[in-house]
Amino acid sequence: MKLLYIGDVVGKSGRKAVADHLPRLQDELSPDFVVVNAENAAHGFGVTGAICESLFEMGVDVVTTGNHAWDQKEVIPYFENQPRLLRPVNYPEGTPGHGFGVYEARNGQKVCVIQAMGRLFMNPLDDPFMAVQKALLNKRIGETVDFVMIDVHAEATSEKMAMAQNFDGRATLVAGTHSHIPTADAQILDGGTAYITDVGMTGDYNSVIGMTPGPAIARFTAQVPGPRLEPATGEGTLCAVFVESDDATGKAVFVSPVRLGGRLREVMPEI
């Protein structure tokens, strides 16, 4: 099966990039399942139910988040009632919402999506490795599910890579998000797990990780409170990772970054 994962959508620019470029990707790549990280989609901070609904209407199957999951307070009841919107699985027990789920793809196969958040230089949540281990109980690719995707929302590259190596052969894809910069290390590990350290953001790259430069620079150069960060509004680049798996084993057989629009060089999978 084929899965497309679109990285951190930032503000209106990022949402427009998804709307502009997802139809082309659906036509040319024919993904069976589409996942989008939208934790910065609501003006750079969090996500709303309305934004999720618009993504679902575009053909997105699951929306993931991260450390900005709760920035829009009105979305909390939506988290409770919408299993297609995920927050990190390693939040404490009793946190609203869902950290993983099993969904049906367009081709009828079962896809397990798990979201985990790292702890290095991040909020001190529960152990993400143990939380993913628990989420994977009774889930084996090629047997009980056809595809397992783990979104690792983390600051440290080492923590993302450790997650991939730890679950190599048990997941089809381990993809990092959060740093908003696409990495060049898309690969298939020895056990058959596709991996990329960071998918990259979907937004305006004439920015500081999606935000207008002035207020962002002030945070580094001044030690006094400055203006609120605002999303950059130029043409956005859609950044994603595309994975194809073996239907018999659930392991990855192809992985490629995807970049369309905006300032970055276009990259489309050669399939």
- pTM of the predicted model over 0.85: yes
Question: Do the domain assignments include residue 144?
Answer: yes
Domain CATH for 98: 3.60.21.10
Cα gap 57→65, rounded to integer Å: 18
State yes or no: pLDDT of 226 exceeds 90. no
Question: Do the domain assignments include residue 61?
Answer: yes
State yes or no: pLDDT of 232 exceeds 90. yes
pLDDT at position 44 is: 86
Kindly give, in sequence order, each residue whose CB lies less than 8 Å from that of residue 113, ignoring residues fewer than 6 positions away: 35, 62, 64, 86, 100, 101, 103, 149, 151
- Give the total number of structural domains in the chain: 1
State yes or no: pLDDT of 203 exceeds 90. yes
Nearest C-alpha neighbor of 180 from the set 22, 19, 44, 43: 44
Question: Do the domain assignments include residue 108?
Answer: yes
Query: pLDDT digits over 103-123, tens only?
Result: 999 999 999 999 999 999 988
Question: Do the domain assignments include residue 266?
Answer: no
pLDDT at position 222 is: 86
Question: Do the domain assignments include residue 32?
Answer: yes
Question: Do the domain assignments include residue 46?
Answer: yes
State yes or no: pLDDT of 187 exceeds 80. yes
Q: Which domain holds residue 131?
A: 2-260
Question: Do the domain assignments include residue 265?
Answer: no
Residue 178 bears catalytic tag: no
Question: Do the domain assignments include residue 268?
Answer: no
Catalytic entry in 68, 153, 178, 180: 68
State yes or no: pLDDT of 142 exceeds 80. yes
Distance of CA 44 to the CA centre of its chain: 15
